[in-house]
Amino acid sequence: MNINLFGRSLLVSASILALSGGIAQAADCPIKIGGMAPLSAPGTVVGGEAMRDAMLIAEEDINAAGGVLGCDIDVVIGDTEGLPEKGTALMEKFITQDGVAAVGGGYHSSVGVAAKDVADARGVPVVFAETWNDTITGDKQKYVFRIAPLSSWASSTIWKHALEIPDVEKVVILTENTDYGIPAAEETTKGLESGGREVVTFSVDIGTQDYAGIVQRIKAENPDMIIVLATGEAGYNFQQQASDAGIGSQDIIFHAGQVSLESKAYWENVPDGLYAFVQRIGVPENLFTDEGKAFAAKYKERTGKAAVESYAMEAYDSIAIIAQAINEAGSTDGDAMVSALEAIEHNGTLGKIYFPYGSGKDPSEDGRGDEWWHQWPDVALTVIQYQEEGENSGEATIVWPDAYKTGDAIYVNQ
């Protein structure tokens, strides 16, 4: 009897399994959207928390405006821990446990590269917010979109700006030994060498705290400019220790790491950080779109921060654009959403977001590489310079490119 029962349940469950081969669609309200962000170590928690806040604001805004398809949306935040294997597990959880219609957010490139395959295999669209590695769109996957800049393209901002600075002959690059840092360093080196500059690269482990030895070594190279390609607190630690050794931003031309955009933490951690150059994504705050201004106000009020980080804006847009795609597709079906995303024109906080290349038009038709597939091509990349102590990154002088320039750069080597 017992065996019989067990056998029957086995049969029943096997048939359930066979039937439920596909994934249950989130047909009911609320419509769920996944939000990936690194919220614990070894991930970059600072970035993750900013993105989480932005994505939750996006949820509020969309629901306040009536939601999508008559439903509220529910942004499910998940922690990637900055680990690729956790990223794939999280993507699986989003799709199978939470039943999300699409996924936004994403910070670490390695996590994005690993997680995108899971989403693509299951037919759930992903709009990546801050994963720069070219491979993400370069694999030309149907369900993968990105609004962050390409790594190769972002690097070109840095080296093109560097080539315009007078009297820079030798450049030292300090990079983290990750898949963000190493390719970025290679591309920057290539660009600088094409302009006849000499380049030396030092790579460091992300957890390094004491840079005294490396700083001395860099000092001995006698560079005219230092470029930091490190995320997280590594950027702060290195810059302040370089300042202490006399090769900081007040002594030579210094391009600081991305994390320096967070002005409050920047000035606390790098008190001698005056005249540093930082790459910034998006236009200056006074040129923000209406959406951008509204978001900036809300974000500052909610977090108490003085400025909006670009990755927060990207995270907000990644959720908002998914919501619009669901509306335009009229359903949460993956294929319908991809069609909607490929044709979308979204007025986001960063500007008008659209994806010119995809199944309709291959990037090669315009002579562009595969990495432009499902890639927003109009991200505004600028270089700012902190010219006053305690300055807010949103108000700092934009020195490059000329289209957005708000002031002249101060070159400490002159």
Partner 1 sequence: MRKRIPNIAGAILLLFLLAFPLIYGRPDYDYIMHIMITGFFYAILAASWSMLTGYAGQFSFGHMGFMAIGAYTTGLLCHYIYLSPEPTGICWERGFFDQYLIVVNPIGVTSTTLTQDCLRQAMEVWDGTVKVTKMPVLLGIILGTLMGALAGFLVGMLVLRLRAAYLALFTLGFSEILKAAISAEIEITRGQAGLELPPLYPEGVTLFGHYFGPTAKLPPYYTMLALLLLCLGILAWLARSKFGLFVRALREDQDAAAALGVNITRYKVLVFTITCSMAAAAGAVQGHYVQIITPNMLFLLQMSLVVAMAVIGGLENFVAAAIGAIFLQVMLELLRNSFVIGGIEVDMTIWRLVFFGILLMVTLRFFRNGLIAPLISHFRRSGIAEETIAKRKIDAGGAGS
Partner 2 sequence: MEFPALFWGIVGWMIVWAVAGSIITRRRYLSRDLDTSNANFIGAMAGASLGPIGIAAIWAKTPQTSGHLSVGLGLLTVLIVAVTFSFADPENICVTSGSFVASQFVNGLIIGIIYGFMALGLSLIFSILGVVSFAHGEFYMIGGMMVYFITAVWLPGINPLVGVLGACFVAFATGAIFERLMLTPMYHGKIDRPVEYGILATFGLAFTLQYFVQALAGANPVKAKRFVTFPRWSWPEWADPAWIKTRGGSLTLFDQVSISSPRLTAAATCILVLLSLLYLLNRTWTGKALRAVSQDREAAAIAGINPDRMNMLAFALGGMIAALAGALLVQAFSWLPQVGAIPAMRSFVIVVLGGLGSLPGAFVGGIMVGLVEAAGTGCVPDAQKAASYIPAYGMIVLTLTLLLRPTGMFGRRFASSTHGQH
Residue 194 binding partner 1, by CB under 8 A? no
> Strands 277-281 and 253-256: what pairing?
parallel
Binding to partner 2 in span 184-213, by CB under 8 A: 200-205, 207-213
For partner 2, which stretch binds (CB under 8 A), given 142-150, 155-163, 238-246, 380-388? 238-246
Alpha-carbon distance of 381 to 155, in angstroms, equals 10
The residues, any chain, with a CB within 8 Å of residue 158's CB and separated by 6 or more, are 188, 191, 227, 255, 279, 383
Assign residue 69 a region (left: φ > 0; alpha: ψ between -120 and 50; beta: otherwise): left
Name residue 170's beta-bridge partners: 198
Instruction: Write out the E strands in 177-306.
Output: 198-204, 225-229, 253-256, 277-281
Residue 49 binding partner 2, by CB under 8 A? yes
Which residue, 165 or 199, is less far from partner 2 as judged by CB?
A: 199
**Nearest approach, Cβ of residue 373 and partner 1 (Å):** 10
Residue of 7, 271, 330, 407 that binds partner 2 (CB under 8 A): 271
Name residue 305's beta-bridge partners: none
Binding to partner 1 in span 63-92, by CB under 8 A: 79, 82-85, 88-89, 92
Q: How many residues bind partner 1 (CB under 8 A)?
A: 57
Which residue, 237 or 375, is less far from partner 2 as judged by CB?
A: 237
Alpha-carbon distance of 126 to 106, in angstroms, equals 9
Residue with tokens 């007025």: 347
**In the 8-state DSSP scheme, what is residue 208?**
-
**Nearest approach, Cβ of residue 54 and partner 2 (Å):** 16
| Residue 186 site contact among partner 2, partner 1, none (CB < 5 to 8 Å, cut-off depends on kind) | partner 1
Residue 187 binding partner 1, by CB under 8 A? yes
For partner 1, which stretch binds (CB under 8 A), given 110-118, 226-234, 270-278, 289-297? 110-118
Residue 10 binding partner 1, by CB under 8 A? yes
The residues, any chain, with a CB within 8 Å of residue 160's CB and separated by 6 or more, are 191, 400
What x-and-dash track marks residues 126-165 binding partner 1 by CB under 8 A?
Answer: ------xxxx--xx-----------xx-------------
| Residue 34 site contact among partner 2, partner 1, none (CB < 5 to 8 Å, cut-off depends on kind) | none
Bond prior to 377 in cis (omega within 30° of 0): no
State the burial class of residue 83 (Cβ atoms within 10 Å of its Cβ: 0-12, 13-18, 19+). buried
Q: Could you list the residues that contact partner 1 (CB under 8 A)?
A: 6, 9-10, 13-14, 16-18, 20, 23-24, 39-42, 79, 82-85, 88-89, 92-93, 95-99, 109-110, 113-114, 118, 121, 132-135, 138-139, 151-152, 177-179, 182-184, 186-187, 203, 205-206, 369-371
